């Protein structure tokens, strides 16, 4: 009960802060929209179809949803660094709520904001020539949420080690862009150069993007690891396991900081 209240309070504060700063939304969805409406159509005409009736813009659309969720939730970890810089973290750390609930509250806050941004991108589907049924959209929510909470936890984990906002942003860029580019957001996962193939399959984000694409485009599973084709549920299981490991690590390291 105590923990639930702690989680809720931490989450609620992040949401209030986000709402006060909602112009930030415009900034964070600009990049995905550029990819979608400039990069996509620009290359579509040259590249032809990437699947039965699927052009390049349509192909990257689910990837862009995933990318938006991933980047937004990851970046939310910076709030922990800001809180430390402004001293507010001390107020949180001396409060009679457990460190575990602080981590969960933060990760949930990050996931909520990321989910909202993913949903905004989702609404652009008709402009790309994709029709999403209500059921498809509902099915996407838990997939997006799973990716968001995992990446949000990763952000919190990093933030417990990195003490300055600048350093956090530098490390984030260093990790985030390789994760996005090596995850199949922009290209199909078959026939990659072998060095790249290895990196793509080691990248947890790959397993978060694949099920989103499968659901949005209704294509058969395309990701295979060591000759085994990953089903939707197997992909979800990989993300869930990685996410659980990361959030446990974040709880541990957040609990052990002085």
Partner 1 sequence: MADYIIEVENLVKKFGDLVAVNDISFKVAPGEIFGFLGPNGAGKTTTINILCTLLRPNSGRATINGFDVVHQQSQVRQSIGLVFQDPSLDERLSGLQNLRFHALVYNVPSPVREQRIKEMLSMMQLWDKRHSEVRTYSGGMKRRLELARGLLHRPKVLFLDEPTLGLDPQTRNRIWEYILDLRQREGVTIFLTTHYMDEAQKADRLAIIDYGQLIAMDTPEKLKRKVGKDIISVKTADNDKAADEIKRRYQTEIRPDGNELTFSVTNGEEFLPKFIKEFDIKIQSINLRRPSLDDVFLKLTGREIRQEEVRSAFKAMVRQYGRRQRR
CB of 5 to partner 1, least distance (A): 6
Beta strands of the chain (E only): which ranges? 49-51, 54-55, 224-225, 228-229
Which residue intervals of 35-98 are DSSP H helices? 40-47, 56-75, 78-86, 88-93
Rounded to 10 deg, the angle between the 78-86 and 165-181 helix axes is: 180
Instruction: Pick from 75, 81, 92, 100 the residue near partner 1 by CB under 8 A.
Output: 92
Q: How many residues does the chain have?
A: 258
| Interface stretch with partner 1, choices 17-25, 45-53, 133-141, 164-172 (CB under 8 A) | 17-25
77 binds partner 1 (CB under 8 A): no
Stretch that binds partner 1, among 9-17, 34-42, 143-151, 201-209 (CB under 8 A): 9-17
Q: Identify the residue among 4, 47, 49, 95 touching partner 1 (CB under 8 A).
A: 95
Q: Which of 4, 30, 49, 90 binds partner 1 (CB under 8 A)?
A: 90
Answer yes or no: are the C-beta atoms of 15 and 112 closer than 8 Å. yes
Q: How many residues bind partner 1 (CB under 8 A)?
A: 29
Give yes or no for residue 119 binding partner 1 (CB under 8 A). Answer: no
| Nearest distance in Å: CB 157, partner 1 | 14
Per CB under 8 A, 86 contacts partner 1: yes
What does the DSSP 8-state code read for residue 37?
I
- Determine how β-strand 224-225 pairs with β-strand 54-55: unpaired
User: Among the candidate windows 94-102, 126-134, 168-176, 189-197, which touches partner 1 by CB under 8 A?
Assistant: 94-102
* Backbone torsions φ then ψ of 54, nearest 5 degrees: -120, 115
In the chain, the N- to C-terminal Cα span, in Å, equals: 25
Of 96, 191, 220, 227, the residue at the interface with partner 1 (CB under 8 A) is 96
The one among 26, 27, 46, 94 contacting partner 1 by CB under 8 A: 94
SS3 content of the chain, % helix, strand, coil (to 5): 75, 5, 20
Beta pairing, strands 49-51 & 54-55: antiparallel
Task: Look at the block and give the residue holding tokens 């929209």.
Answer: 33
Task: Candidates 7-15, 67-75, 127-135, 213-221: pick the segment binding partner 1 (CB under 8 A).
Answer: 7-15
Asked if 15 is part of the footprint of partner 1 (rule: CB under 8 A), the reply reads no
- Coil, helix or strand at residue 49: strand
Residue 43: C-alpha distances to residues 105, 124, 186 (Å): 41, 18, 11
- Of 67 and 92, the one with the shorter C-beta distance to partner 1 is 92
Applying CB under 8 A, does 22 fall inside the site for partner 1?
no
Q: What is the DSSP letter of 97?
A: S
Under the binding rule (CB under 8 A), the answer on residue 174 touching partner 1 is no
Which residue from 4, 8, 178, 224 is in contact with partner 1, where contact means CB under 8 A?
8
Q: Which residues bind partner 1 (CB under 8 A)?
A: 2, 5-6, 8-9, 12-13, 16-17, 20-21, 83, 86-98, 161, 163, 257-258
């Amino acid at each position: 009960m105590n923990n639930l209240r702690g989680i809720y309070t931490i989450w609620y504060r992040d949401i209030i802060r986000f709402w006060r700063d909602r112009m930030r939304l415009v900034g964070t969805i600009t990049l995905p929209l550029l990819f979608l409406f400039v990069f996509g159509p620009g290359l579509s005409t040259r590249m032809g179809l990437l699947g039965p009736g699927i052009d390049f813009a349509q192909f990257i659309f689910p990837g862009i949803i995933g990318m938006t969720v991933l980047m937004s939730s990851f970046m939310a970890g910076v709030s922990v660094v800001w809180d430390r810089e402004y001293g507010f973290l001390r107020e949180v750390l001396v409060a009679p709520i457990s460190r575990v609930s602080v981590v969960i509250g933060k990760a949930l806050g990050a996931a909520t904001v990321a989910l909202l941004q993913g949903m905004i991108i989702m609404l652009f589907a008709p402009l790309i020539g994709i029709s999403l049924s209500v059921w498809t959209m509902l099915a996407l929510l838990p997939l997006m949420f799973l990716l968001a909470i995992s990446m949000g936890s990763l952000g919190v984990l990093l933030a417990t080690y990195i003490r300055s906002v600048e350093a956090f942003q530098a490390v984030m860029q260093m990790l985030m862009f390789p994760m996005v580019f090596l995850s199949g957001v922009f290209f199909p996962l078959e026939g990659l150069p072998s060095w790249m193939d290895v990196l793509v399959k080691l990248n947890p984000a790959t397993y978060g993007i694949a099920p989103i694409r499968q659901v949005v485009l209704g294509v058969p599973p395309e990701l295979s690891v060591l000759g085994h084709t990953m089903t939707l549920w197997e992909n979800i299981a990989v993300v869930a396991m990685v996410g659980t490991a990361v959030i446990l690590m974040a709880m541990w390291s957040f609990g052990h900081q002085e």
